[in-house]
Structure 1
Amino acid sequence: MSSSPEAARGREWLESWDPEDAASWDSGLAWRTLWVTTFCLTLAFVAWFLPSAVIPKLNALGYTFSESQLYWMAAMPGLAAGLLRLVWMVLPPIMGTRKMVSLTTLLLVFSTLGWGVRVQEPTAPYWELMVLAFLAGIGGGAFSGFMPSTSYFFPRRMQGTALGLQAGLGNFGVSLVQLLTPYLIGISALAVFGGSQTLAVAGAPNEEVWYQNAAFVWIPLMLVGAVLAWTMLRSVPVEANIRKQFDIFGNQDTWWMTLLYIMTFGTFSGLSAQFGLLMSNLYGESNPEIVSGTGAQAQVLVTGYDVPDVVAYVFLGPLVGAGARVVFSPLTDRMGGAVWTLISGIGLIGSIAFTMTTLTPDTSSAAALESGFTQFLWGMLAIFLFSGIGNASTFKQMPMIFERRQAGGVIGWTAAIAAFGPFFFGVGVTAVGAVAFYGIGVAWAVMCVAITWWRYARPGAPRPG
């Protein structure tokens, strides 16, 4: 017996939903939505940042791309995510949570599968890897749909915690893929499809690896996530067609919060995507003043300098940023978001300025290089910490500043623009150099601190939140 369209819609769409009414609010459904969507969002971030774990090692696997080509490739998922978030931000009221989360999670399989295939032989043309990098941006685009749809399920007093948990745990997908990749590629038993590759790293003997594991291991989890979303989620009816959703652009706070979220999530996503390449080019095997040659023939030019293994450090930044978002989210519910956004901006000014002095490595001695690398690493981790705090606080501010329907749209819009972070970071470092680009970052943070104080944090502020 077939079901009618009305019956099918009844199983998917709730008849009504008012999270501010404690008597009728179904907290069980709200939390189930949060956890299932968060699981899928974590996998979305895995797919989005899988290229960042693979691209720094492409040449070691046999490809011969230039430094500029690799920066552009690492930037491409950010460009795609920013563009695709503009699409995903309007989907929650139209598709509903159930269909949107299920279908998006299935789409993650395509780029992930492609990377798993193309790392096995260094024969893919540059344009094909750029296409795969662009498709990875679907994982970034998902954020602007998943977060607003989850916000519909929770009352305002809990949205800082709920959205902070979802975004923070989702952000862990970045450090998860970067942390596990060096271990996964060494497990031959996981290589059900394809053979081994030779990894030729400067200053180290050649190593047999199975780099397809870094991609293929996530595909079964993506399929599980899609099934969970389809069977366990429902959708909140929200009156907001595409034309109605665009009314957020008439509110000046949409633009102020966009600038603030570029400072926080734009910094987090940009550094997460480019951290490995930047470290390698400054203090690692890709700096020609430090290492000459590749593979077993590589020679360290600075006597006594122990070239750091990028993969041993690159996951730490996203881990710190995502952890800060989770830990500080409950504090934003208690104290308000504006004060923490202010702290985030001040912290970013200091930590970016502290790191700038390390962006021109002193190669005169091993001691100077090691000292510079230590300062560089701690400075970068501080940037990740303060960006994570700001990610939590801005997502507390938006539901407080805007009414529910608009808040969802603003969350989607600001997230879309900030997702261009990896693209602008890669282009900026390539075009003007790391020092000048970090200087722009300091100036941007100063501007955002002024906006936060005047508009949201000072006594008598027009829109405290």
Structure 2
Amino acid sequence: MSTDPQITARTGTAERTTAAPASRPSLDFRAGRWIEHWNPEDATQWEREGRAIARRNLAWSIFAEFLGFVVWQLWSIVVVSLPAAGFKFDTSQAFWLISMPSLVGATLRIPYTFMVSRFGGRNWTIVSALLLLIPTVGLAVCVANPSTPFWAMLAVAGLAGFGGGNFASSMANITFFFPAKEKGWALGLNAAGGNLGAAVSQLAVPIVVSLTAVVVTGAAGTGSTLAMAGLMWVPFIVVAAFGAWRRMDNLSNAKGDLAGSLAALREPHLWVVAFLYIGTFGSFIGFGGVFPKLIHDIFPAYSSFALGPAALSLAFLGPLVGSLSRPYGGRLADRFGGARITVASFATMAVVTLALIATLPVKNFWLFLVLFLALFAASGIGNGSTYRMIPVIFARASRAARAGAAPSYTARLSSAALGLISAIGAYGGFAIPQLLGASSTATGSYVPAFYGFVGAYVLMLVVSWACYLRRGSTVARMGA
């Protein structure tokens, strides 16, 4: 083959383009289910075998992440039943048990983001699924004995944070499997499947625990039957780990972006959007955690409903509405702009919370439920719209974009920011129960905390408007 530079120059781009398909490497499947040369942007590879592989990995990823959210929310349900099982914890201790999983889960989301590149997506899904056995079995052991000290209960509740961390590694893994044109759809399914775990957990646990009580003891509320809240998920966790081992794959080119994450941390807009995400996702996961206890404390007669021999709590409706409304937030943001929908979400959350405060003296459970479901819907829509804003902001308003950085670099920053913002936003799940618990302990009422939430939503609305809607802001001029 000639290396004459004149010949090379004459051949030009056309010849190189023609020759490229012949030299395009095919997928190489290695031991341990490692795949080499994965390239979802290669249309031929994608249509021939890539799509089927990606969808198979997505299905098992959704199942594993779903169980992660289930475990993350277990203590929000169990805490309500602890008094009947013989535990004597005060209000502050109860809210610590509810909020500790969110604190640990939010923190774990940061290292979990890089586990896929370190160990492989399949391998880490197996490990992260099996780790869920620790908090589920630990919960069963703790609640079976009313003499279990609070510090041990709190430690095991913190271990439920393993479930919250799963979101970050699951999303990081799936993003490598799909081409850009299908990435949003795949990540949306993955996120929605995970969020639904919170609703299913709050629906299924009271039913299974009450049925177990009837079958085993003939009465509800003992610690031995409450242990089923954790044990009932063990078979599903084993199936998820086994399915990941048998059906998922590792991608050799799935590399974490530590440098991109560090660069994103220096972008002021990351902290602005993270603050807004505390208000949207933090409200979703925070209120999802405390909703069963709020119903139990404010409307004890409606804490559960008889469904034959089983007991049903309507608290699951909150996370369910929040999960299902999230995709609509993204869709509305695509049509009207993410900043507009985010501002509207905070305005709605503030107004609905004020309505909650005003109607609490009426003591109408159904009005309380409707207003709280509206609050969950607004937070879910805000989740979708805020997340949609991130790539736009980093492409147009970030320091790198204003300095003329290449689109590929701002896209890299945006990808890193998605993981970091999801981690920071999850801290809202810790803050909301703590504020409600402090309010109840100090005043005997939840109303002061709700007023605090109204103030926070108004502040976040103002920040959203000032940074992204105000005339003259970079993002507003370019249509966020």
Mean alpha-carbon deviation: is it higher for 330-339 or for 389-398? 330-339
Determine the structure 1 residue equivalent to 2:187: 163
Q: Tell me the residue number matched to 1:258.
A: 274
The structural deviation recorded for 1:385 is: 0.5
Are residues 1:407 and 2:429 paired? no
The structure-2 alpha-carbon separation of the partners of 1:186 and 1:240, relative to structure 1 and needing over 3 Å to count, comes to closer
Deviates further, 41-50 or 142-151: 142-151
Name the CA shift for 1:307/1:320 in 2 (closer, same or farther; >3 Å): closer
Matched, 1:320 2:335: no
2:451 paired residue number? 439
Name the CA shift for 1:98/1:197 in 2 (closer, same or farther; >3 Å).
Answer: farther
Q: 1:228 aligns with which of 220, 240, 243?
A: 243
**Distance in 2 between the 1:55 and 1:11 partners?**
41
- Cα separation, 2, equivalents of 1:283 and 1:165: 35
Task: Measure how far apart 1:150 and its partner are.
Answer: 2.0
Alpha-carbon distance in structure 2 between the residues aligned to 1:333 and 1:96: 33
Instruction: Name the one with the larger helix percent.
Output: 2
Q: Using a 3 Å threshold, how does the CA distance of structure 1 residues 319 and 254 change in structure 2: closer, same or farther?
A: same
Distance of 2:206 and 2:342 partners within structure 1: 35
User: How far off its partner does 1:382 sit?
Assistant: 0.9
- Which is worse superposed, 6-15 or 90-99? 6-15
Within the candidate set 139, 144, 156, 1:115 is matched to: 139
Q: Using the alignment, how far apart are the partners of 1:427 and 1:17 within structure 2? A: 46
Q: Secondary structure at the match of 1:210?
A: helix
Taking the TM superposition and a 5 Å limit, the aligned residue runs for 1:148-187 are 148-187=172-211
| C-alpha contact 1:164 1:395 (8 A) present in aligned 2 | no
| Contact kept in structure 2, 1:116 and 1:216, CA below 8 Å | yes
Mean CA deviation greater in 405-414 or 448-457: 448-457
Q: TM-score, structure 1 length as denominator?
A: 0.81
In 2, Cα distance between the equivalents of 1:83 and 1:11? 30
Contact 1:260/1:448, CA 8 A, preserved across alignment? yes
Max Rg structure: 2
Structure 1 residues 13 and 435, CA gap change in structure 2 (3 angstroms)? farther
Deviation at 1:334, TM superposition (A): 5.7
Report how many residues are paired.
420
Tell me the SS of whatever aligns to 1:317. helix
CA distance in 1, matches of 2:470, 2:339: 9
Looking at structure 1, the residues matched to 332 and 199 of structure 2 have their Cα atoms a distance apart, in angstroms, of 23
Residue 396 of structure 1 pairs with residue 388 of structure 2: yes
Amino acid at match of 1:108: L
Residues in 1 aligned to 2:126 and 2:214: alpha-carbon distance in whole angstroms: 26
**Do the aligned residues in 2 keep the contact of 1:196 with 1:208 (CA within 8 Å)?**
no
For residues 223 and 159 of structure 2, the distance between their equivalents in structure 1, rounded to whole angstroms, comes to: 28
Task: In structure 2, list runs of 5 or more residues that go unmatched.
Answer: 1-27, 306-311, 395-409, 441-445
2:353 & 2:158 partners in 1: Cα distance?
29
Q: Deviations over 1:43-78 (max 9, x none)?
A: 001111111111110111111111221111111111
Take 2:411 and 2:235, find their aligned partners in 1: how far apart are those partners?
35
1:309 equivalent in alignment to 2:301: no
Question: Are the equivalent residues in 1 in contact too, given 2:144–2:223 (CA < 8 A)?
Answer: no
Equivalent residue for 1:379, pick from 364, 371, 383: 371
| 2:62 is equivalent to residue 38 of structure 1 | yes
Query: CA RMSD, aligned part only?
Result: 2.9
User: What residue identity is the alignment partner of 2:421?
Assistant: T
Does residue 428 (structure 1) correspond to residue 435 (structure 2)? The answer is yes
Change in 2 beyond 3 A, CA 1:14/1:62:
same
Q: What's the % identity of the aligned pairs?
A: 31
TM alignment of 1:5-44, pairs within 5 A: 8=30, 11-19=33-41, 22=43, 24-25=45-46, 26-44=50-68
